[in-house]
Amino acid sequence: MTIATSRTLRTLGALEHLFAAYGEDGTMNFTIAARVTGTLSESDVIAALAKVQERHLLLCVSLGWREDGTHCFVVSERPISLSVIGASTTIWERIAENEMNKPLVSADAPLVRATMVAGATSTTLFLTFNHAIADGMAAVFVMRELLTALSRAELSAETTDARLEDRIELEVPRFFRNSSTSERTTEVGGGPLVSFKQGATVNAVEIDVDRLAKFRQTAKSRDTTINSMITAALGRSLVSMNERWSEKAVKVMSPIDLRPGFNIPEHVGLSLSIAITPFERSETTFWDEVRRVQEQIAKFREKKMALWMVADIAKRCVTDPSYEATRRRILEHSPFDSVMTNFGVLRMPNRFGDIVVEKMWAPALRSVPGQDVVAAATFDGVLSLVHTSVAGTEGLLGRMVEILEDE
């Protein structure tokens, strides 16, 4: 649907356009969750969601097209929807799985929804986002704002919105709905290239305080990081468990938080998925793999490399900056097979007034069929690993933990 210019917020940047194209095919939804003490009322959560939404323009938008055909965000006054589930026996993974398998339709605003599970002594809050409006770090910020509002404390000042490329002074092409050079005339909105019917599965494991302390000690003694250890365990697990990688390398992509290098505000979030490490069947030791992962990721932490990556994404769209071309490029030429994303220690207080945060998990994130996504996050000294897959590798987390504990 083409919309009037007066209702648009702004055009999309290169990464937003890329994630929008990803999400159009039922991919790249993600959900985060926090469990707090006590039973929250539905009316209080709705009121808190409204307060948070007022401060973040991208929590009020859908995706659309200007009259000239450019891809844009469309402003809406619709509130963030809240679903309430009363089944206290429902485990976290099944709720997250359900969220992954419910599309956030790009033409419907807002591109975020909330769910609360009311138990006898606690409440679990879920926030699910279309990746075009937020990344995981920004989503943690929104959850923190929601808990702040529920505690009736003052929220941060209203935030300003701008394209990432404008923040780092990088020019990008305008992205159009249809190609002017392509002979294809099919409407982009006519249906997804990949059916959403293929369900995602979500599984999680936790590394307790004592075991995590042991891993940290080992990492320090080896002059490496927990992130490199987990990523190496993921790559080795995939190679050993999935015959798909018997004759070729599996490519594991590692998102890197680059906000500090660009002075990007906390609510924006900037984790570029750029460091790709190949793994293959070999006699390489685990610690050699860990060192290789660490060296590979280090190459992409520099500011100039991040600028190159964003510019390269934009450059790939120059020859055909249409939505249709971007969607097909993603599905046909994905540069990676799996993602390992580590949030580190979540920047979340344990208490908001009378509200005590009992637990937070790493996010569940749905990607394209065949890709395994493993997210890691530490909260209150416990490391959670969450595996989301669509026709991916079963038993992956268990094998990763075995590898880590054997070393």
Contact 40, 118 (CB under 8 A): yes
Cβ–Cβ under 8 Å, residues 126 and 33? yes
Instruction: For residue 407, give both structure tokens.
Output: 């070393």
pLDDT digits (tens, 9 = 90+) for 87-103: 666 789 999 999 998 88
Which amino acid, one-letter code, is at 40? L
- For residue 363, the model assigns a pLDDT of 93
Q: Which CATH superfamily includes the segment(s) 5-190?
A: Chloramphenicol acetyltransferase-like domain (3.30.559.10)
Rounding to the nearest 10 degrees, give the CA dihedral for residues 48, 41, 137, 158. Answer: 10
Q: What is the DSSP letter of 59?
A: G
Closest CA to 15 of 396, 302, 358, 307: 307
Long-range Cβ pairs for the range 50-53 (8 Å, 24+): 50/79, 50/80, 51/149, 51/155, 52/80, 52/142, 52/145, 52/146, 52/149, 52/155, 53/79, 53/80, 53/110
CA distances from 201 to 294, 301, 324, 396 (A): 29, 31, 28, 12
Domain ranges of the chain: 5-190, 201-346+362-406
Question: What are the tens digits of pLDDT across the range 6-48?
Answer: 478 788 877 787 778 777 655 678 999 999 998 899 999 999 9
- Identify the architecture of domain 201-346+362-406 in CATH: 2-Layer Sandwich (3.30)
360 has pLDDT over 50? yes
144: nearest Cα among 163, 164, 159, 125: 125
3 state SS of 66: coil
Range of weakest confidence among 41-45, 78-82, 89-93, 162-166: 162-166
Tokens of 151: 């505690």
